[in-house]
Chains A and B, each alone.
Chain A
Amino acid sequence: MSVTSGPIVRLDGVEKSFGAVRALASVSLDLMPGECFGLVGHNGAGKSTLMNVLSGNLMPDSGQILIGGEDVTAGYTPQTAMRHGVRCVYQELSLCPNLTVAENARISHPAVSGIGWRRAARALIGGKLDEVFPGHGISTDDVVGDLSIASRQMVEISRAFAVTDVAARVVILDEPTSSLDAVAAEKLLKHVRRYVSEGGTVVLISHLLGEILDTSDRIAVMRDGGIVALDEASGFNRNSLVAAMGSVAEGAAQEAAEQAVIRATAPVVVSAKPAAPESLTLAAHKGEVVGLAGLAGQGQTELLVKVFDHAAGTKVSGAVSLVAGDRQTDGVFPLWSIAENISIGSLRQFLDGFLLNHARAHAFAEEWRRQIGIRTPDVAEPILSLSGGNQQKALFARALGAPAEIIVMDDPMRGVDVGTKQEVYGMIREQASRGRTFLWYTTEMDELRNCDHVYVFREGAIVADLAHSEMTEERVLHASFRADA
């Protein structure tokens, strides 16, 4: 790697529009070697678009891209980016689900070739996984489609850091920790610091302001397609970041004082026990918000799907709707508009006799767009025109708009910005007080504080049952790990 004193990447006046929507308004940015560059902003502020330009997936309408002082703007593609050592871990994962971990590693590292490439690919990705996420528990022969979203994320990240013929000089991490639990996220951030101290450059996009503040050297705040603040990380704190993003400061998580009352008086509407032996039973009373905690992939999603299916081993009284967290696999209908994606959850509401009334379905979606703040000029636009976080809002609208008494949520806040999160928490609280029951799987401590009651999962079983008053981060973490491990 040649050490240059100047910036490794320079973006100069980059602009990009999608139809009438201006995603990037003349953005200029220098990335220095040996720094972690934090990037924050609302859903749709232009973070992912900017990174897609940098990684060659989108052609900018105007402006220049310089890498190591060389102008590469003309004919810049993902392949050119790779050749210059620019790697990107996308928010929507890009692994092939039908191939193994090692085969996926081979795809983005064409230098792994010839006889014995399989062994070389295994060593390449396996070594990186061990380095970044020690104790990951993934075999390089696992088929990617069988892995949990957290494991897939780990593979994707390790693949980006792996080095064959071209050094990884700039690694872009777009929401890398949103699918990881606290432990894996910490391992990743440690690796980022290690990599940066060796002279690499990382662009870190995240909605978790704590990790941005702790990990980055410099932080840029984006709003409406432009950079509105850029400074050393030490020059920011949580409140100044939130203020720069342009949303109200986070209030303290709402106290759920009446939760003991609900437990004592309201009937049980969901009772479910995971298949694992020696598990406690989850019980949710009418009007409660129940949290499912623990490390990622410990059987929380499976139990939610069982409740959704009214499967054997569960007692569920009432209709259930689900908010998917893994939106590509579980949530979005990619050929449809935003309105169609929202209204599919409650089609029967729009029947006139046997026939659907499309105007009413459209009005319903429009109402939810306003209520939940989906950033789009028109709900008739395709769902894929939305940024990841806004797609997630559409999935929320689908589930909350459906006529269900029970709503199960599978880590639903992935990629949702701080301001919207607060609004959605408020919406959940308000709906719960009107008698809806929520089961909420989340890997984030802040979200568990919004729950009346928390069950901690470990290895497919429920191992702890904590009321709101008993719940502390320490107790959740303690229960998440085996005493003998």
Chain B
Amino acid sequence: MKRLASLLKQPWLWAWGGALAVWLATAAYTQGQGSGQVLSAALTFGAFFVIVALGQMFVITLGPGNVDLSIPACMTLAGTVSMKAMEGSGAMLPIGLLLALAVGLVVGGVNYTLIRLLRIPPIIATLSSSFIFQSAAIWWNRGLRVKPPTALADFATAKVAGIPVIAIAVILLAACGHVLLTRTVYGRSVVAIGQNMRAAHLAGIKVERVRAATYMMCATLAGLCGFLLAGFSGGAALNMGEEYLLSSIAVVVIGGTSVAGGFANVPGLWGAALFLFLLVTMLNTMGAGAGLRMVLTGLIIIGVIVAASGGKRRT
């Protein structure tokens, strides 16, 4: 009984419950037809959401005002630079991956430098830097779509026993993120800073070092996501990151992480990513028009957030 009560208090429960409900509703509507494929697609697209949301979660947990809006631009730049460097050659794959990660690391470093040295609020710093990175991607790419190496495309679309390989890889990545958040000095520091930055400093936490690492990790994950997404979708496109701006934040918040910082959880990310994808699929299946679909998506997200907070949301 007590175990059940503590389970009901888990912040990620609502996202998972929502995902399950939406999937069942879709399956009921189609009388079970194709619900296996829907789940498989949800796992693949959810995996991409989770990669960026993992970084965004650590950034948001740093406390009020912390958010990374440069994720789409970073994904595009990393995808573009790495695809162009590899030029479709499988032998260059490791170098392409390293390049994508390096682009992310640099983007994160630039973001943090703007925030720290020029004392620009993170929301403005990452928004303005994203224009620069997006322009860099346009200049680098010149509108061409370079095909990814076959090996990369195969990996991004491969399945084992019906489960996308990329989903398995990202589940492992999320598990690492969970351990990082709950069982390391770094993770505890992020959560402490999000609750009270001054108290964290006075408790002996190296606040600025942790913030720098967090912004760099977030951008590096965005770089990784850009690399994999370019492989999955047949090349880097200039608008490939577009929908990841709002969904990275939505996934974090629906997953039960506090927008005000200082409280986070990883399992909720997966639940929320599946929920978001399945929700759009359900509305598509039921034949809702684009306008209605967006209104319902917005309303349902609000509903889940209110339910998950149990009426005692921190402001």
Contact = CB atoms under 8 A, between A and B. Distances in A.
Interface of A: 305, 308, 321-322, 324, 329-336, 340, 344-345, 347-348, 351, 354-356, 358, 398, 402, 404
16 contacts: A305-B202, A321-B204, A329-B196, A332-B196, A333-B192, A333-B262, A335-B262, A335-B263, A336-B191, A336-B192, A336-B195, A344-B192, A345-B203, A347-B185, A356-B184, A356-B188
Nearest to A347: B185
B202 A351 contact: no
Contacts of B196: 329, 332-334
Given A347-B185, A348-B185, A322 B192 contact: no
Contacts of A402: 204
Contacts of A345: 203-204
Given A333-B195, A347-B188, A355 B183 contact: yes
Contacts of B202: 305, 308, 322, 324, 330-331
Nearest to A356: B183
B184 to A, nearest CB: 6
A230 B199 CA distance: 40
Nearest to A351: B185
B49 to A, nearest CB: 26
Q: Which of A329, A344, A398 is the most central at the interface, judged by chain B CB atoms within 10 Å of its CB?
A: A344
Contact of A330 (B191, B195, B199): B199
Nearest to B188: A347
B198 interface: yes
B262 A356 contact: no
Contact of B188 (A321, A332, A335, A344): A344
A334 B195 contact: yes
A347 B188 CA distance: 9
A333 B63 CA distance: 12
Contacts of B199: 324, 329-333
A324 B198 CA distance: 11
Contacts of A340: 188
A321 B205 CA distance: 11
Contacts of A358: 183
B120 interface: no
Interface string B191-215: 1100110111011110000000000
Contacts of A348: 185
A335 B260 CA distance: 11
B188 A355 contact: no
Contacts of A335: 191, 195, 258, 262-263
B179 interface: yes
Contacts of A347: 185, 188
Contacts of B205: 344
A2 B101 CA distance: 76
A266 to B, nearest CB: 25
Contacts of B258: 335
A84 B236 CA distance: 69
Which of B179, B185, B205 has the most A CB atoms < 10 Å from its CB? B185
B61 to A, nearest CB: 11
Contacts of B262: 333, 335
A354 to B, nearest CB: 6
Nearest to A322: B202
A330 B185 contact: no
Contact of B198 (A329, A344, A398, A404): A329
Nearest to A361: B188
B150 to A, nearest CB: 37
Name the residue among B183, B198, B204, B263 with the largest chain A CB count within 10 angstroms: B204
Given A345-B204, A398-B203, A330 B183 contact: no
A166 B117 CA distance: 51
A83 B202 CA distance: 41
A345 B199 CA distance: 11
B217 to A, nearest CB: 16
A333 B189 CA distance: 11
A320 to B, nearest CB: 8
Contacts of A333: 192, 195-196, 199-200, 262
B184 A344 contact: no
A344 B202 CA distance: 11
A404 B183 CA distance: 23
Contacts of A331: 199, 202
Nearest to B196: A333
A340 to B, nearest CB: 8
A334 B261 CA distance: 12
A330 B198 contact: yes
Contacts of A344: 188, 192, 203, 205
Interface in B260-274: 262-263
A402 B188 CA distance: 16
Contacts of A332: 196, 199
A419 to B, nearest CB: 27
List the 10 closest A-B pairs by CB distance, nearest first: A333-B195, A355-B183, A347-B185, A322-B202, A356-B183, A335-B262, A344-B203, A330-B202, A335-B195, A331-B199
Nearest to A350: B185
A173 B198 CA distance: 28
B283 to A, nearest CB: 35
Contacts of B185: 347-348, 351, 356
A365 to B, nearest CB: 14
B301 to A, nearest CB: 24
A135 to B, nearest CB: 30
A340 B188 CA distance: 9
A483 B53 CA distance: 63
A348 B205 CA distance: 11
Contacts of A351: 185
A356 B185 CA distance: 7
A324 B204 CA distance: 12
A166 B188 CA distance: 48
A329 B203 CA distance: 12
A321 B183 CA distance: 23
A335 B196 CA distance: 10
Nearest to A399: B203
Nearest to B186: A354
A49 B203 CA distance: 29
Given A333-B262, A334-B196, A347-B185, A355 B179 contact: yes
Contacts of A398: 203
B17 to A, nearest CB: 23
Residue among B185, B203, B258, B263 with max Cβ neighbours from chain A (10 Å): B203
Given A305-B202, A335-B195, A344-B203, 15 more contacts: A322-B203, A329-B196, A332-B199, A333-B199, A333-B262, A335-B262, A345-B204, A347-B185, A347-B188, A348-B185, A354-B184, A356-B183, A356-B184, A356-B188, A398-B203
